[in-house]
Amino acid sequence: MFNIIIGQYVPGQSVIHRLDPRAKLLAVFLFVIIIFLANNWVTYALAIIFTLLGVFLSKVPVRFIYRGLKPIIIIIIFTFILNVLFTKEGELLVSYGWFHIYEGGLIQAVFISMRLLVIIVATTLLTLTTSPIDITDGLEILLGPLKKIKLPVHEFALMMSIALRFIPTLLEETEKVMKAQSARGSDFTSGSLKSRVKAIIPLLVPLFVGAFKRAEELAMAMEARGYRGDVGRTRLRQLIWSLSDTFLMLVTLFLTAALFILRG
Amino acid sequence: MGKIIEVNDLCFRYYEHDPWTIDSVSLFVNEGEWLSIIGHNGSGKSTLAKCLNGLLLPEEGSVKIGGLDTRDELAIWDIRRQVGMVFQNPDNQFVGTTVKDDVAFGMENHGIPRNDMIVRLDEALKLVQMEEYAAEEPHRLSGGQKQRVAIAGIIALSPSIIILDEATSMLDPQGRQEIIETMRYLNKENNITVLSITHDLEEAIYSDRMIVMNQGKVLREGLPSEIFKEAKMLEDIGLDLPFTVKMRQALSKLGVPLSENALLQEELVEELWTLQSKI
Amino acid sequence: MDITIKNLTHLYHPNTPFERIALRDINLQIKSGSFVSVIGHTGSGKSTLVQHINGLLKPSRGEITVGDVTIKAREKAPRLKDLRKRVGLVFQYPEHQLFEETVEKDLCFGPMNFGLPLEEAKAKAHQALKLVGLPQDFLQRSPFDLSGGQMRRVAIAGVLAVEPEVIILDEPTAGLDPMGRRDILSLFERLHEEKAVTTIMVTHSMDDAAYYSDKVLVMDRGQVVMMDKPEHVFSDSKQLKQLGLDIPVTMNFLAKLNKKVHGQSVRPVFSIEETADAAIKMLRQGRGETGHV
């Protein structure tokens, strides 16, 4: 539960960890777009090398990346099978009753699964090497220009960071209420589906009531501490753009150009 | 000693047509003093606290902080910088994802330049002895530590007053002790005025002055020694008595001719010692 | 119901890198009908220990027997529901567990979970509300419209409605004002005296532990350091200090007086009246010995 909600940040000191979250966000964003340019072996190979290089440099154990992939793997396999079965291009390789596999279909299936795979690995790598709060900071600054068209970027970022801050608190609270209701004879783990759904109400109501009370008190405390939106605010957290960030940008741009040139 | 807070005929209620939650309250707070406000739950003391930094605005009467009126929209942010407030629940006032971020939150709001912020941050954390925890996340801290972080966040803005709104009531004895000691230090060394809303009578004994609230009104105002002479009144409005007062009553009942002055245990011991021959 | 704990060890997050010993080799016995206070520093394992008594937590090693139910490590716990019916647990800030639209419905929640039909559950609810000293017209009110102290009492009534034979209190008075505190504590004192309910109270207040209990259980870093009558536990002020605990205010006062008048040390007392008596005795003795006029 914990991992799903707050991302799977694995603290570390690698080159990738130390990159500015803005650079990582931009690079992953760009990468996810340009991967759609790839359409032959060379371009896919380039994209895969780029991704694997990232994984290698991050020094994050491969099992963490696998863990990020796990929920998606079914979808990838499913996409693979669909493409194999329904693309009828090129030479016929296998034929068995209504079941035909064409060369074009196989290649298409490999390409599309590759595309999904590198997209997931690249984004997983981002969340594995960047703490949620850094991602929030990075997003706030990157999306900063949108404030001009009155999008509540600052408020959104603050919301994110408060949500991150309160996740452990709310988990603790959930555990406590669950125990308290169990002590009063509630059963969360057995019985029919209907009775289990019913058992969840005594858990949810106190949690909601508690969360609203927290929200109210927190708002009061923030106001008391001089919070008035984005007006005249300074920041303690600072993102520092270094040479390696520029380098990452250059490599990503270079990859973009290469994909443009080498695509078939 | 100047008056740093002046409240005149303050009336407040949460909804129109409700009875007053605060009913014509007038009071003042002297610069540098430690003032305790006691009263049972629902006596209006926490509402009063929220009126003192403009979180709630008077319906009638006025609240002035260092001469600034809380209803003056231009002054309100200055007022909130002057008047720091520590609330009851340590969790529900911790905004930052780490100790450092939380202490900085108030400074960021008030637009303190980053360089200045870093210096103040260090100083404030040292004052509350939390410097080793700067990078810690809140769910790893005890209640007392979180409250100390809240105090650091206030101190960093160099306020003149800190209001403790039952800030120790959810803490264990050790946490309570830490907070009171920290606040005593700030009161003495940094000349910060302390207004403590509490039902911890053993804490109130040590204050310079006390106010007793009941049903939205100020019932009594005076020195702790004077207030605690009125044991009957305190019991009538649902408050307990400090240990020494109960002890004094029990001893008097047994015929020990005690005065009504002793409030600290040491004072009572001293007085008993002088009376030793008469017992 | 007697409670017997044998070699109980409890691990948090067992078999992970975060494994931590919460309780270490606990052995103790609580007699049916007694009032036991559990004291110790925050994090000493008090709450973890008491949550074993109604099977909310299972021992990682060792076993616990409550009445005729024994829960052993690595075995499926038997008849938990039956156990929880007989052992009520009032958590810290129990008002956070209220959830129904009316007080009556919330009070019926426990009894009905344990198999009572609605009408009987209602009867229990009414009794429980009376027990905690709230008027019957509260039954149809929403628990969320009540004051903090009243909510606390309703939540406690929700546990009492089940009529447990053992009641566990985890800091039942935390955050209450002095009057609320007195009310709650005298309620449990009454229950204990009149209905012989076995009462186990986790508390930070040495005064309450000393005043209300037959036995005091002192915990430190997951272990039981002492379990004895309050007069014995609190006569060892040196050890308590080492554990970061205080002595009751009555004894603290007598110790100060004793130092001043050079009286003889007195046996521990915890009520105001007894302390007054002891103080006078001490002064008379002191006068005799020092010849002070």
Q: What is the pLDDT of residue C288?
A: 65
Residue B251: pLDDT above 50?
yes
pLDDT in tens, A146-172: 989 989 999 999 998 999 899 889 999
Question: How far C222 CA sits from the closest chain A CA (Å)?
Answer: 20
Set out the domains of chain B in order of their start, with CATH numbers. Answer: 3-233 (3.40.50.300), 242-279 (no CATH)
Across chain B, mean pLDDT equals 93
Q: How far apart are CA A127 and CA A39, in angstroms?
A: 27
Q: How far apart are CA B198 and CA B181, in angstroms?
A: 15
pLDDT in tens, B224-250: 999 999 989 998 888 889 999 999 999
Q: What is the pLDDT of residue C44?
A: 92
Distances (CA, A) of A7 to A71, A113, B98, C119: 14, 23, 17, 49
Spatial neighbors of A248 by CB under 8 A, at least 6 apart, are A19, A23, A24, A27
Backbone phi and psi for residue C212, each to the nearest 5 degrees, phi listed first: -95, -25
Q: What is the pLDDT of residue A5?
A: 38
pLDDT in tens, B1-35: 689 999 999 999 999 889 999 999 999 999 999 99
Length, in residues, of chain B: 279
Burial A77-106 (b: 16+ CB within 10 A, else e): eeebeebbeebeeeeeeeeeeeeebbebbb
Q: What is the pLDDT of residue A7?
A: 57
Question: In terms of CA atoms, which chain A residue is nearest residue B101?
Answer: A236
The beta strands (E) that lie in chain C are given as 3-12, 20-30, 35-40, 61-66, 69-72, 87-90, 166-170, 198-202, 215-220, 223-228
* Angle formed at CA B12 by CA B9 and CA B14, multiple of 5 degrees: 175
Residue A3: pLDDT above 60?
no
- In chain A, where the domains are located: 1-130+238-264, 159-233
Consecutive 10-residue averages of pLDDT for chain C (293 residues): 94 83 95 96 93 94 93 87 94 94 96 94 95 94 92 96 96 88 93 94 95 95 94 88 90 90 80 92 74 44
Question: How far C180 CA sits from the closest chain B CA (Å)?
Answer: 9
Residues of chain C with C-beta less than 8 angstroms from the C-beta of B199: 177-178
A228 in contact with chain B, both atoms CB, cutoff 8 A: yes
Average pLDDT over residues A198-225: 93
Of A213-227, B151-165, B193-207, C9-23, the one with minimum mean pLDDT is: C9-23
Q: What is the pLDDT of residue A88?
A: 80
The percentage of chain A sitting over the pLDDT mark of 90, rounded to a whole number, equals 58
- List the alpha helices (DSSP H) in A59-102: 62-86
What is the architecture of the domain spanning C1-92+171-176+196-234?
A: 3-Layer(aba) Sandwich (3.40)
Task: Identify how many contiguous H helices and E strands chain C contains and give both numbers.
Answer: 11, 10
Q: Are B261 and B245 in contact (CB under 8 A)?
A: no
pLDDT in tens, B167-193: 999 999 999 999 999 999 999 999 999
- In chain C, where the domains are located: 1-92+171-176+196-234, 93-164, 248-292
Residue A4: pLDDT above 50?
no
Question: In terms of CA atoms, which chain A residue is nearest residue B98?
Answer: A165
Q: Are C179 and B237 in contact (CB under 8 A)?
A: no
pLDDT in tens, B125-154: 999 999 999 999 999 899 999 999 999 999
Question: In terms of CA atoms, which chain A residue is nearest residue C91?
Answer: A180
- Quick one: tokens of B15? 């909804």
Question: How far A198 CA sits from the closest chain C CA (Å)?
Answer: 12
Q: What is the pLDDT of residue C27?
A: 96
What residues of B are labeled active site?
166
Give the number of beta-carbon pairs within 8 Å between B and C: 91
